[in-house]
Chains A and B, each alone.
Chain A
Amino acid sequence: MRGLKWYQFWRLFFIQSSRNNRTIDGLGFFHVLAPMFGRWAGDRETRTDVALRHMGYFNANPILAPFIVGVVVNLEERRLGGEAITDNQIGTVKDTLSSVSTTVGDIFFDVVLVPLGLTIGSIFAIYGSYIGLAIFLALYNFYHIRVRISGYRVGLQLCGGVGEKLVTRLFREQNLLGGCAAFASGAFAALVFSRAYRMGGVGYGLWGIGAVAAIVLLRRKLSFFWCAVIVFLAASLYLLLL
């Protein structure tokens, strides 16, 4: 695949491994760029400066991070070629793209695509079918792998207009997939309600409505974890007392 630097690309799959709460994925970002430092700086002292410069704060959606890495590599290469690009400019581009990618990537992948795939997987799982699991993994990874590779290539090759097309496409598909995710969630809810009614009558149905309302209300004050614990224990108690 033209333009891909494999010796660098594989490192992108481990960018979050050493996450800390101050520089977030700063060390991961450094590790991805590490093979390039020798090329960008001749002597040892300059190499250390370049390395330290790329070791600062980095917080971006991991799937769109290849795009940012590509852009930074592109800028450094152009500077090496004689263009007047300053450290500040590179830093600003990196920070801006990180913020944008975090917003766009987190919404597209974590809020829309993953819940959509998992809901489809769960609907099929109720019928004991593995098809939903296959659909979930195929759907998610179709976007995931494509965005990773194309984002990296776009970053490396274009730089000017910084991936406007990539972001616009994600935005456009986000609306469609968001609607699909909500529809699938509604279908899942109907399936669970009808199954509960069939197996436990009105009591289970009413309990279900109460559980959903409790989760919606509890979630305002409590984390996912505590909401799940409380309602899970309530469900068990309800079944024991029934």
Chain B
Amino acid sequence: MSPILAVSLLGSSLAVENRSSINLLISQPISGGFLTGLVLGTPAEGFFIGALFQMMFLGYVRVRGQRIPDLPVGAVTGTALYVLTYRGLGGDPAFEGLVLFWSLFIAILVSGFGGAVYKGWETASWHLYTLARDSVKQGRPGSASALHLSTLLFHFLYGFLILLIVITAGRSFIMAVATSVRGATTGSLDMLSCLVPFIGIGFLLRLHFTTGRIFWFGAGFLASYVFFIVRG
């Protein structure tokens, strides 16, 4: 099976896990990235990208009514793009930063796009509800149940198509950019792995900025910092 097809199938399954209430959280970027890496034969690389993407949204809390970025599909996209493109470029370290930047950036955009699509879907699925209600009124509750379960197919297909399209197009795009730009000029971008986690710290700080918890945040910071200094 083609690696892109395999990753698309994995990602669409994770999209179903995320959008139904199975809620085992294997679709979170940190585990989604690892699983994508596993499918592509490089679990360590997949885990690295998934964890990096996760760190960006570490203090992200799903608040009801708020537009929710589609992190699982984004993470699988980013991981697959990084692994496949970097492999396609022969693993040349000069391109690592560039590939990392574009993979993460496209992953963020896919997450945002997914959030917008699902906002629209929640409006449109009202019609599905009225259809189900009409079925019940006509004495066919089984059809209403079938309509409810059929939405799983939508989640699966959405994830599958997005991944198939974005990974195929994104990979060609990054390869084209990489070959047209000299790798050496973008080499410092590989240090993104050092700076990106600060985004997550900002979100975490805001999350724990309450009377009861900010003390423990400070305590954790100080204790760990002293530990790192002592340990060298």
Considering the complex, which residues of chain B in the window 205-225 have a beta carbon less than 8 Å from any beta carbon of chain A? 205-209, 212-225
Query: Would B108 and A185 count as touching, CB distance under 8 A?
Result: no
Interface of B is mostly: helix
B18's closest neighbor in chain A, by CB? A16
| Residue A90, interface by CB 8 Å | no
Interface of A is mostly: helix
In Å, the complex CA distance between A55 and B131 comes to: 12
Note all chain A residues with C-beta closer than 8 A to B201.
185, 188-189, 192, 208, 211-212, 215
Residue ranges of B at the interface with A (Cβ–Cβ < 8 Å): 19-26, 28, 30-31, 34, 44, 47-48, 51, 54-62, 64, 66-67, 69, 97, 101, 104-105, 108, 111-112, 115, 122-123, 125-126, 128-129, 132-133, 136-137, 139, 141-142, 144-145, 147-149, 151-152, 155, 186, 188-189, 191-192, 194-209, 212-225, 227-229
18 extra interface residue pairs, beta carbon distance < 8 Å, beyond A27-B148, A125-B51, A182-B217: A13-B20, A14-B22, A20-B129, A27-B128, A27-B132, A30-B132, A30-B145, A55-B132, A63-B23, A137-B24, A184-B220, A185-B220, A186-B218, A190-B223, A199-B191, A215-B203, A219-B202, A219-B203
Residue ranges of A at the interface with B (Cβ–Cβ < 8 Å): 12-23, 26-28, 30-31, 34, 37, 44, 47-48, 51-52, 55, 59, 62-63, 65, 102, 106, 110-111, 114-115, 117-119, 121-122, 125-126, 128, 130, 133, 136-137, 140-141, 144, 175, 178-196, 199-200, 204, 207-208, 211-216, 219, 223-225, 227-229, 231-233, 235-236, 238-240, 242
